[in-house]
Amino acid sequence: MDEESDWQPPDGSWASSAARRRNMQAIRSRDTKPELLIRRLLHARGLRYRVAAKPLPGLRRTADIVFRPTKLAVFVDGCYWHGCPEHYVPPKTNTGYWSSKVIRNVTRDRDTDQRLADAGWTVLRFWEHESPDDCALAIAAAVSRLRHARH
């Protein structure tokens, strides 16, 4: 008999099976397809930025794209992990753990937005399902607006 078929998670475990655990660990936290598409479009517009950078030195949170001179932090949120109102589907297994994880993520996202705003940063958030062209256009417009506001 296969080891995985007998495996049962201990109480409080974050994965419902060894296979699920491997699958979840393989999910990228950076350089996702939507991020790469948006970054490619921004680069083609001549914009330069930091990738997966901490906007604030004392805050252990990273933005997907950071424009330091204009204090612009960009996040490209995954629909599942960040609770997209259009696409989030509650899990069918280990529902307590996964649902509370998503709630913690959303709560942390709002806290991050507030902390960055309090420090004078502009925060833009996009869902992974949004058009990369539209996202890049909005980011480029924000960078331009913030550059002009500085001078």
State residue 50's pLDDT score: 98
State residue 72's pLDDT score: 98
Name all domains of the chain by residue range, CATH numbers in brackets.
30-150 (3.40.960.10)
Residues of the chain with pLDDT under 70: 1-17, 19-29
Q: Which residues pair with 1 in a beta bridge?
A: none
State residue 16's pLDDT score: 58
Chain centroid to CA 117: how far?
17
State residue 2's pLDDT score: 39
* pTM for this prediction: 0.81
Q: Which amino acid is at 57?
A: P
- What's the order of all strands across the beta sheet hosting 50-53? 50-53, 63-67, 72-77, 122-127
d(CA 44, CA 107): 34
